[in-house]
């Protein structure tokens, strides 16, 4: 039966992450952004909330309670606190979820138990390439079968924490189809390059990764010989990013709303003016619209439906809504919106990234 209310466990989880986001992430996000470093204790505390182990099947040491709906609830709350730090907290998902969804039995047995440990395993994934017309279904990085190995060649960018990673899930083009390959970083030909300079999420270290005749065993192909349905994996990433976008949008909306109630001009709060109040009403409605679209998409995934159409429609729309909401937040703060002492300029920069963040989050 149609219902828009969270159940008890979801309420507890959302409440706990909301507290963490407010008390931890919002305390350090600006320093992290300006210095480009995220405090390790905050990431560890986020990891200890145990969102990922809850999703891992019991056979591999988790609680077997995977749900995309619960995942999007968590992602929104984390991202409300700070996008860059929450992308790092959720970084292990980038490898764990594809293995859960598409991995072979051996891959699951090898990797999944590691995601239930006290500290997150040092893994990352990379999809994006340095090209204007980036298309995740037509990657320039290639994978060619050579006996019992694959030969990988290409340049990837925006690989989070690739410098510390022991293994990278590399997406590459095999005969026109995107497939995943589990590549240990000590494999000859793998070079983790300089840190990427991005418009937003400065706190998160992302890197260029160059692959030159990198040989990986066939067994390291995600899903084994049969491979994986990449659109299915992409859908899980887009729902996660949609939820994170809702979190960023809500942060901007709430901040602008409270600011407008405090800021006095012409003798009364600017929120008393319809020009401001109506912008806020639209922002609130946009945030709710985006959230409902994300929830429905996640619910379809949980039902095992092919939700490609719904997710594409949702993602393209939400990517724009989050920018519109963040932009209006900057506008409502006026000059202060442009100053880095206030958070809204950062949210606008982060918001603009969602259209290019494919593969940077996963639930």
Interacting residues of 170 by C-beta distance below 8 A, sequence separation 6+: 125, 126, 141, 152, 156, 180, 181, 183, 209, 211
Candidate residues 75, 203, 280, 330; the one interacting with another protein per rule CB under 8 A: 280
**What's the closest the beta carbon of residue 317 comes to another protein, in angstroms?**
3
Would you count residue 305 as binding another protein (CB under 8 A)? no
DSSP codes, 43-104: HHHHHTT-HHHHHS-GGGTS-----HHHHHHHHHHHHHH-HHHHHHHTTTHHHHHHHHHH--
Residue among 359, 350, 361, 355 at smallest CA distance from 141? 359
Closest distance between another protein and the C-beta of residue 8, in Å?
9
Place of tokens 């590399």: 170
Compute the least distance from the CB of residue 300 to another protein, in Å: 8
6-30 as b/e: b if 16+ CB within 10 A = eeeeeeebbeebeebbeebbbebbb
State which of positions 192-231 bind another protein (CB under 8 A). 231
Name the helix (H) or strand (E) containing 287.
helix 274-302
The sign of the CA dihedral 180, 186, 187, 188 is positive
Tell whether residue 323 is a contact of another protein (CB under 8 A): no
User: Is 175 one of the binding residues for another protein (CB under 8 A)?
Assistant: no
C-alpha pair distances (Å), 54 with each of 9, 93, 329: 12, 12, 35
Ranges within 65-94 binding another protein (CB under 8 A): 69
**DSSP state letter for 23:** I
> In whole angstroms, how close is the CB of 256 to another protein at the nearest point?
11
Q: How far is CA 97 from the centre of its chain?
A: 12
Cβ nearer to another protein, comparing 7 with 44: 7
Among 188, 197, 266, 274, indicate the residue that binds another protein (CB under 8 A): 274
Considering the rule CB under 8 A, would residue 142 count as an interface residue with another protein?
no
Distance CA(318)–CA(158), nearest Å, equals 21
The least CB distance from residue 193 to another protein, in Å, is 25
Is residue 174 a contact point for another protein (CB under 8 A)? Answer: no
Question: Footprint of another protein on residues 251-270 (CB under 8 A)?
Answer: 257, 260-261
Asked whether position 271 contacts another protein by CB under 8 A, the answer is: yes
DSSP annotation of 221: B
The correct pick among 19, 22, 119, 309 for binding another protein (CB under 8 A) is 309
Q: How far is the CB of 278 from another protein (least distance, A)?
A: 5
**Which residues in 38-67 contact another protein (CB under 8 A)?**
none
Name residues contacting another protein, limited to 334-353 (CB under 8 A). Answer: none
Among 312, 324, 331, 352, binds another protein (CB under 8 A): 312
Q: Which residues bind another protein (CB under 8 A)?
A: 1-7, 10, 69, 132-137, 231, 257, 260-261, 271-272, 274, 277-278, 280-282, 284-285, 288-290, 292-293, 295-296, 299-300, 308-310, 312-314, 316-317, 319, 355
């Amino acid at each position: 039966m149609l219902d828009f209310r969270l159940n008890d466990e979801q309420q507890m989880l959302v409440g706990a992450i909301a507290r963490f986001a407010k008390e931890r992430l919002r305390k350090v996000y600006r320093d992290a952004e300006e210095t480009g470093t995220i405090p390790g204790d905050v990431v560890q505390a986020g990891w200890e909330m145990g969102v990922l182990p809850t999703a891992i099947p019991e056979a591999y040491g988790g609680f077997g309670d995977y749900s995309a709906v619960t995942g999007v609830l968590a992602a929104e709350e984390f991202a409300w606190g700070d996008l860059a730090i929450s992308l790092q907290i959720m970084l292990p998902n980038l490898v764990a979820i594809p293995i859960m969804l598409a991995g072979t039995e051996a891959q699951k047995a090898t990797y999944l138990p590691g995601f239930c440990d006290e500290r997150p395993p040092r893994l990352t994934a990379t999809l994006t390439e340095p090209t204007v017309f980036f298309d995740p279904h037509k990657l320039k990085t290639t994978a060619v079968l050579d006996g019992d190995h694959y030969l990988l060649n290409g340049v990837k960018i925006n690989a989070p924490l690739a410098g510390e990673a022991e293994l990278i899930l590399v997406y590459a083009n095999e005969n026109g189809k995107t497939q995943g390959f589990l590549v240990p970083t000590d494999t000859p030909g793998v070079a983790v390059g300089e840190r990427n300079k991005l418009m937003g999420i400065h706190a998160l270290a992302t890197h260029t990764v160059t692959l030159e005749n990198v040989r990986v065993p066939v067994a390291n192909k995600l899903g084994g010989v049969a491979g994986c349905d990449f659109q299915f994996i992409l859908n899980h990433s887009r729902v996660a990013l949609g939820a994170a976008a809702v979190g960023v949008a809500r942060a901007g909306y709430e901040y602008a709303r409270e600011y407008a109630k405090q800021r006095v001009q012409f003798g009364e709060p600017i929120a008393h003016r319809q020009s401001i109040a109506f912008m806020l009403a639209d922002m609130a409605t946009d945030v709710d619209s985006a959230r409902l679209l994300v929830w429905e998409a996640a619910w379809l995934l949980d039902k095992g439906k092919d939700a490609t159409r719904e997710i594409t429609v949702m993602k393209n729309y939400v990517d724009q809504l989050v920018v519109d909401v963040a932009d209006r937040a900057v506008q409502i703060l006026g000059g202060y919106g442009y100053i880095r002492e206030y958070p809204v300029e950062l949210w606008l920069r982060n918001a603009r990234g969602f259209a290019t963040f494919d593969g940077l989050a996963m639930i």
